[in-house]
Amino acid sequence: AACRAAAHRTLSLTVTQVCLFLPFPTVLVTQVEVGAWTYHYGDKSDYSWELARNFCRSFYTDLVAIQNQGEIAYLNRVLPVHKPHYWIGIRKINNVWTWVGTNKALTKEAENWAKREPNNKGRNQDCVEIYIQRKQDAGRWNDENCQRKKRALCYQASCQSSSCSQRGECVETIGNYTCDCYPGFYGPECEHAVKCPALATPARGRLNCTHWHGDFTYNSTCSFSCNMGFVRNGSETLECTALGQWTGRPPLCEVMRCPKLRGLEPVLVNCSHPLGSFSYGSVCRFRCTQGYFLNGTSRVQCQPDGHWSDKMPACQGTLFCHVLASMGSSAFPLQALCRSETRG
């Protein structure tokens, strides 16, 4: 019944009393709301530092992590006086004062110790309490033995697993959070990815891209390949960087070239070049001057691998024909060639 009769009163913030069913003895918990970020403390039971942290982590985020002087001033203003004070989320780990929620060392700039603290009085003062509305050193910290019993001062983070689009670090602020975006992302929630200039399919080639965060954006990768008979001049793969630039220039697809052919009498050559001089697809035809006959192919073509389809032929002269004639019927096929050339 006491849980249902929750009390409400208005400060500059809302203060609500709620009853939780805990693995600890039943306690009355006070919640102080600041927009999306809320502070919580149990106002009936005190705990050792470890149990206080277990309490906070079981139902909220953790023992409070102090972000700045504004938060300290706020806590000192709205929290009620309680002796023996409140535990916060700092502990000495390997002799270094550490924010336990982030496992980050306490920096010199962030220190807020009371006068002549920390002093490790009596030794084993490895945990930290905050003085609330104390006549001296209000809002400041004191190192204390972790087994002492104090109130658990907890917070419920406004940062959630989906905050900052999972593309940045969520930084708690009073009443809200900000996003420290990872390289390659921007926007209030890091919802936008940096864009690179769009790439075009190369002439006589192909473009294949993978876009993780949108077309031609950070981390997009594009691979280039060329059609048969063409060779890539440049990088095979480009990646869009966090600066909005590609890792290189787009490559070109250049036609494959074959060795040049030259006709020297008595060999006559006539070539056609649809894609460039002596390049893929070029065709060369051969014939001989009068009095000679062609020994070999009469036509070659430049192949996709840059080689001709056959060897260059030769032209045989009249002396060779006289030798063939003396060989009799065994050289009859070649003799016929000589007769046709002679007639031509």
| Per-residue pLDDT reduced to its tens digit, 209-242 | 999 999 999 999 999 999 999 999 999 999 999 9
Mean pLDDT of 273-286: 96
How many angstroms separate the Cα of 141 from the Cα of each of 107, 138, 290? 14, 9, 111
Mean pLDDT of 65-70: 79
Rounded CA separation 313/234 (Å): 37
The answer to whether residue 3 is domain-embedded is no
Residue 65 phi, psi dihedral angles, 5° rounding: -110, 115
The predicted-structure confidence for 148-189, as pLDDT tens digits, reads as follows 999 999 988 778 888 899 999 988 776 678 899 999 999 999
pLDDT of res. 157: 79
pLDDT of res. 261: 92
Q: Are residues 297 and 232 in the same domain?
A: no
**Domain-ending residue, one of 145, 176, 192:** 192
Binned at pLDDT 50, 70 and 90, residue 31 comes out as: very low
The predicted-structure confidence for 286-337, as pLDDT tens digits, reads as follows 999 988 999 999 999 999 999 999 999 999 886 555 555 555 554 445 545 5
Q: Could you give the number of structural domains in the chain?
A: 4
What mean pLDDT value characterizes the chain? Answer: 82
Q: Are residues 213 and 284 in the same domain?
A: no
Binned at pLDDT 50, 70 and 90, residue 198 comes out as: very high
Q: Are residues 85 and 167 in the same domain?
A: no
Mean pLDDT of 38-56: 88
Q: Are residues 232 and 286 in the same domain?
A: no
Q: Are residues 13 and 150 in the same domain?
A: yes
Binned at pLDDT 50, 70 and 90, residue 344 comes out as: very low
pLDDT of res. 71: 83
**Domain-ending residue, one of 108, 136, 156:** 156
Q: Are residues 66 and 146 in the same domain?
A: yes
Amino acid at 235: S
Binned at pLDDT 50, 70 and 90, residue 5 comes out as: very low
For residue 297, what are the β-bridge partners? none
pLDDT of res. 65: 84
Name the residue among 27, 69, 51, 67 with its Cα closest to residue 155.
67
113: CATH: 3.10.100.10
Q: Are residues 150 and 42 in the same domain?
A: yes
39's tokens: 């502070």
**Domain-ending residue, one of 156, 179, 209:** 156
**Domain of residue 232, residue span:** 194-255
Per the document, the length of the chain is: 344
